[in-house]
Every structure is written in structure tokens, then in C-alpha cells.
A and B are shown apart, each in its own frame.
Chain A
């Protein structure tokens, strides 16, 4: 019995079992999404507070150096782990995997529910650190020892402990959810849904989840060891140190070991966030340009190749750490190699758009915006992947600009696009188009207004992580004007997100009814008997899949799309067509 079917567990009836202690993947997905958005708002406010200090130094007295570093740290950690990872895997993964592969639910719904509640616990522990003596940790999101646990760093008493405990709890939650996602994709697909017929969204989330299951252990171990260094006084990462004139009791540990363990998680983490974005963007582009995705098989193999390669590039984050220079040669090479499958994906998106009938709907705008920001961020990644270019740039705003373009803004744009795209399936209503377009244009143009100048500041040599830039003669005075400009842009973008929130809430109750398939899409989630899909998703019988997910504008068809569960002849991917052709001869 491989499926958790509707017959196995009864449909819940009370409010509590249906919406709170729910084991339904759709409800859990919404819970994950709303929690992640809430915590993301905290991170957004923190980033704007940081920008206030940088743009108008000293004007806001409550932002002292300690607070500034706490904002930096929490902004980074929340965005990378608690927002992006949780929203892509827990939110989109939970909602889309069972619906897109034609399953009735995840294979292990109880574990899935636990995953959400444990994630919520991790969020609460993290938020608790705002209210403990000393406040949250200000160690930087990488939490490098020795400084992260020594006095002098803000939050080195309680904040760092809560941070590490919260991360360990999050890893437990991610593992419980991740096991479900992987096994549901592998073992619970409906009849006809072979792996090579799955939508690229599922492929992206699937490979990202496998990576999460293999990369988070490294963060887990480094978190446990750092926690012991802090609480028990062990010396895993702590060398002999003289702090404020006093020799500490630590001796003989290796700070570089932490960096290796952290980045063995940290670099795959970039792709844990990026691969679901790649997948979702592929589906958005294909659907809204009414054209089959260019090079489906190549797209799948690129996702798999990126996933595998991302485990052997981690030390490119450590070119300035003092590790063996021969390592640098190896990791620079692998880093440049990983650009190849990534470039293939970008080419394929553009070739999908070429000569297609592009519908500039809001999800499509976000998808195209993603291609643009991801391309810019990816190209600066090639600069930073080379040791000799990285070393002078490593400590500057060039790096900040690079990673915000490539793994900050790009996945966020996809999240927005994905929400605008699948909102009609979740609620049965469309989001407001005008507000959506306003949201897109301000966010997209704001991205460039914020991050383009940062590249320039970085090349000028403006160091990152600094609280104030007084008395640095090499930084020209005009840099401050640029900083003020960036801050104004960041504030505008920050406020514009309220438009999105308003749209989200308003459309949930007042939006235009969407019907079951407003985008005329082929994938299974749009073919459910009810919208929003009911308990068990498919009514009496699970759908049967007859084709791949990209039969758009097939010549000679009545409609310009053929759903995956439609049995009519024609269409299919290259492989199916070849097979059919061979049969004819």
C-alpha cells in the first residue's frame, strides 16, 4: 500500500482539525507560507533599519553599532533560512508536489504536520532572542567563531544560543518535511506520471529537497559543536585567544573547520533556494508564453547537474580565509564549471520566450524580471568565482550586490510570481492585476536602483559589514550620496510590499472568481474537480497522465493547451513524438 489515500484517513470536520492541526498538505502549505511571509516582514523591516543607518549615518540615534549588527545578522539568517528555504520547500513544495504528481496527499501526512509545527517552534525560538538580555546575536549571518561566541559581539550571551538552538530545530523540521517531499515524488506519482513527464517545478523542488537532506547535516553538526563551545567551553572551533588582555581557557581548536562545515551547507543552500525558483520560473514562462519549454530534458539534467556540482564548490566562500591556495584553484574551477548548466537554463528560458505569444500577466512579469536579475547576479558570480578577482572584492559591497541580485531578489521575484500564479488555485479567486503590476514595477525597478549602485560602491572599495564610514579617506564623499539614494529606494520598495499584502488579503475575500484553470495551464493541479481542491484532491479517481507538462499551442488542437491528463492523440515531448513516429513507420 504505497499511497496515503482518502480512504485511509477521514476528512476532518471541526475548525481545529481542518485548519490548525491539519494533516492536509494544502493547509500545511498555507501555514508554512503565511509564517514565512510574517517572519520575512520582520527581516524586511530590519533591512530598512540597516539602510537608514547607512544612508543617513547618525541621524537615527536608536540604531547604535550593536543594533546595526543585530539587524544585519537576523536579516540574513531569516531571509536565507526561515523565509526562502521554508517558503519554497514547505510552502510551494507542500502545495504543489502532491497536486502536480497526481497524489492525494504526501505519503506521511502526520510527519508533514509535525514538520510545520516544529518549524513554527524554530521561528518562535528565533523571535524570542529579540526579548532576551543582550538581544539577538550580531555575529553576522555566517556566525563565524571565535567572534560569534565571545564577549564584545552583541548577543553573545543569550542571542547566539537561541540562534543555534533555533537552527537545530529548523533542521529537524526541514528533515521531516524533506523526507515526505522526496518520497512522494519518488513513490506516489499517479499512473502515467513518469519522472521525465513531471513539471520542472516538481523537479526543482525535488532536487533541492535532496540537497537539503544532505547539506543541513553539516549545519547541524557545526551548530552542535558551536553550541558546545559556547555553553560547555569545549574548543572545537576556538584557538588559544587573548581577549581584552586575558587569556581565555579555549585552546587548540580550528576556526577554519567551522567555515568548511558552514559552507558545505551554505553553498548548497544557495541552490536549495535557486532550484525551486528555476523550476517555477520554467513553468511560469512556458504557461504564460503559450509555448513548450525549450529543451525539457536538458533543463532536467541541468537541475540535477547543478545539484550535484553545488556540493563541490563551497570553499569559494573562503578564498580569503587563509586556507591552502591549491584549494582555491580547485574550487575556482568547479565554480566556473557550475556556470555551464546554469547558463543552459538561462538560454532555454530565453529561447522559450523567443517567437512565443508572450502574455504580460503579473506572474509572467515576475518571471521575466527574474531572468534579468538572475543574469546580472550570475555574471558577477563569474567575477567572484575567480580567486584573483575575488580577493580584492571579497570584503566590499560588490559581494553584497552580487548575492542579493542572485539569491536574494531573484528567488523573491519567483516567490511573488508563484504566489500570483497559484493564488487562484489556493483560494479560487484572482489577485488584483493593477495592484500586482504596481507591485512588480516598483519592486523590479527598485531592485536595480538598490543593487546596481552597490556594484559601483564595491569597486570603489567600500567595505561591507561596517557600521559607519567616517574617516576612511579612500572612500569619496559622493559614495555617501549614493548610499542615501540606495536607502530611499530601499524604503520605497519596502513600503510597496504592503501593496502586495493588501492585495493578498483583499483578493482572498473579494477577488474576482477565477474558475478552475484561469491561466489555461496543462499541469495537473489545474485539472482538479474542485477549486480550491477538496480533501484528497481528486474526488473519486486519481487522474491518469498521458503526456508531458508542456503541450502548449500544439498545431491542429481545439485549444492552445492540452492538459496532462487528456488522452487525445498528438503533442508530447520529443521523446514521445519520436516514439510515435517510429511506430508509424
Chain B
């Protein structure tokens, strides 16, 4: 046994086929994923955050199905009267459009970051943050509309099931906090891009990491939109 040669250190595990090969690839030397640790960490955080939103939405669906009082019709509740006609879901359509557009500007910002075009990158990031701020502003408008005009409260709801107000304020509020945090995060990174901080370190990956977070917040909104407004 002792005279048996061990494998050379450069190839600690011999390549294998099939299922074993997958294991060998994944358990490779030093890094499991060929990405910088910051990006991997953001992915894992987002996975964890997915579970938070998943639990929120599951909880919402459960109370919606188990409550005995009828659920208000979202397309009527969230309608706006424009020029005398009630347009269903118009505000939410605008908000969704703004948020999805901000993902576009974010993707362009990442592109310019890797080209080391500081001015364009920072401008696009600030534009993204501005669109995000618009979204939060419109959300504040929507909340005001619900609270002041419709009289919906977290604990009561003149339109039907009280859980409508509870889940709505909780879930959109939690998402709004995410957007607000993202706006601050993007603004800070954008200012650092402008200041040339990453030019010195030669590493713009933080822009992409911030972008990952931003796209995630958008994606979550799509699910909230589908489950809350379209159901």
C-alpha cells in the first residue's frame, strides 16, 4: 500500500464520466463557480431572499383562499378614473412599465461599465435609480389612494376581506423597501463609478452585482403583479 503512488497534486481527481464527472467538476480545486466571490455571494443572498418573497406570497395565497369574506376585485380597486372613465389597473401598468424599463437601463450600465465608459455607466445607473425612485413615488401615490379614498387599512377593509389590506400593504411594502434600498445602493455605486474608484482598482464587477440585485427586485415585482393584481 505504501509503495502505491499517489496521484500528482496538479490533478487531484481524475476526470470521470457521467454523474461522477458532474461531481468532480463542481468540487473542483479552489472555486466551485468560475465567478468572483462577490457575485456568488449576491446570488446566494438572492436565493435566500427568493424564499422570503416565496413565503410571503404563499402566506398571501393561503389567507386569500381561507378567508370567509369575499375578496375585492383588484381590477376595480386599482382602477383610476381618467377623463371620466375608469381604466382598470392603469397605474399598476405604468409602474410595471417603469420598473421593467429600469432593468433595461441597468443592463446597459453594466455593459458600459465593462467597457470602462465611466460617464455613460454612471449616467445609466443614476437613470435606473431615478426610475426606481419614480416607482416608489407611484407606490406612495397608490397607497395614499387606497388609504385616504378607499379607506383600506392593514386591519380593516370596507371593500371586503380585511386580509386584502394586510397582505397588500405588507407585500408591496416589503418590495418597496427592497426598491428603496436598491435606489440607495445604485446611487452610491454610481457616485463611486464617477469618482473613478473602480478605475483605480481596475474592477467594475460591483456594477454587475448591483445589477443582479436590481433585476431580482424587478423579477419579484412580476410575480407580485401576477399574483396580486391579475388573480
Contacts and interface: CB of A to CB of B under 8 A. Distances in A.
Contacts of A529: none
17 contacts: A2-B30, A180-B41, A183-B40, A186-B31, A187-B36, A191-B30, A215-B51, A218-B51, A221-B52, A221-B55, A236-B163, A252-B162, A264-B55, A547-B6, A555-B2, A556-B1, A570-B6
Interface range for A: 35 or more
Contacts of B52: 217, 220-221
Interface of A: 1-2, 107-108, 175, 178-180, 182-183, 186-197, 213-218, 220-222, 224-225, 228, 232-236, 249, 251-254, 257, 260-261, 264, 544-547, 554-557, 567, 569-572, 575-577, 579-584
A567 B5 CA distance: 11
B88 to A, nearest CB: 26
Given A183-B40, A225-B170, A576-B7, A556 B2 contact: yes
Contacts of B73: none
Contact of A576 (B6, B23, B38, B161): B6
Given A257-B63, A261-B59, A2 B155 contact: no
B44 A182 contact: yes
Given A1-B36, A214-B51, A570-B1, A546 B9 contact: yes
Contacts of A197: 12
B55 A217 contact: yes
Contacts of A577: 4
Given A195-B32, A567-B9, A579-B14, A179 B41 contact: yes
B229 interface: no
A214 B48 contact: yes
Interface stretch (B64-72, B133-141, B211-219): B64-72
A108 B40 CA distance: 12
A214 B52 CA distance: 8
B27 interface: yes
Interface string B30-68: 111101111011001101110110111001001100111
Given A107-B37, A224-B170, A257-B62, A580 B7 contact: yes
Contacts of B31: 2, 186-187, 189
A215 B51 CA distance: 8
Given A186-B33, A217-B52, A579-B7, A257 B154 contact: no
Interface string B67-103: 1110000000000000000000000000000000000
Given A194-B28, A261-B55, A583 B5 contact: yes
Interface in B167-215: 167, 170, 174, 203
A342 B191 CA distance: 52
Contacts of B47: 213-214
Given A228-B170, A253-B63, A217 B49 contact: yes
Given A179-B44, A194-B12, A236-B167, 16 more contacts: A187-B33, A187-B36, A191-B29, A193-B30, A195-B32, A213-B44, A217-B52, A232-B155, A235-B162, A261-B55, A544-B9, A554-B1, A556-B1, A570-B5, A577-B4, A580-B6
A236 B6 contact: no
Nearest to B55: A221
Contact of A252 (B7, B9, B66): B66
B66 A555 contact: no
> Taking each of B3, B47, B155, which has the highest tally of chain A beta carbons within 10 Å of its own beta carbon?
B155
Contact of B166 (A187, A236, A569): A236
B26 interface: yes
A195 B33 CA distance: 12
> Taking each of A189, A264, A545, A581, which has the highest tally of chain B beta carbons within 10 Å of its own beta carbon?
A189
B53 to A, nearest CB: 8
Contacts of B6: 546-547, 569-572, 576, 580
Interface of B: 1-7, 9, 12-14, 23, 26-33, 35-38, 40-41, 44-45, 47-49, 51-52, 54-56, 59, 62-63, 66-69, 154-155, 161-163, 165-167, 170, 174, 203
A252 B5 contact: no
Contacts of B69: 251-252
A412 to B, nearest CB: 28
Given A214-B47, A217-B52, A189 B7 contact: no
A252 B68 contact: yes
A222 B56 CA distance: 9
Contact of A196 (B13, B63, B166): B13
Contacts of B27: 194-196
A228 B166 contact: yes
Contacts of A221: 52, 55-56, 59
Contacts of B12: 192, 194, 197, 545-546, 576
Nearest to B29: A194
Given A1-B203, A236-B63, A570 B40 contact: no
Contacts of B66: 252-254, 257
Enumerate the 6 nearest inter-chain pairs by beta-carbon distance, A residue then B residue, closest first: A556-B2, A195-B27, A217-B51, A233-B155, A221-B55, A234-B166
B15 to A, nearest CB: 10
Contacts of B167: 236
A146 to B, nearest CB: 14
B2 A194 contact: no
Contacts of B37: 2, 107-108, 183, 187-188
Contacts of B30: 2, 187-191, 193
B40 A572 contact: no
A236 B33 CA distance: 41
Contacts of A194: 12-13, 27-29
Contacts of B9: 192, 544, 546, 567
A49 to B, nearest CB: 35
A225 B155 CA distance: 12
A197 B29 CA distance: 10
A183 B41 contact: yes
Given A218-B55, A252-B69, A257-B59, A554 B45 contact: no
A178 B36 CA distance: 17
A557 B44 CA distance: 43
B55 A187 contact: no
A581 to B, nearest CB: 6
B3 to A, nearest CB: 7
A579 B13 contact: yes
Given A252-B69, A546-B6, A575 B1 contact: no
A260 B62 CA distance: 11
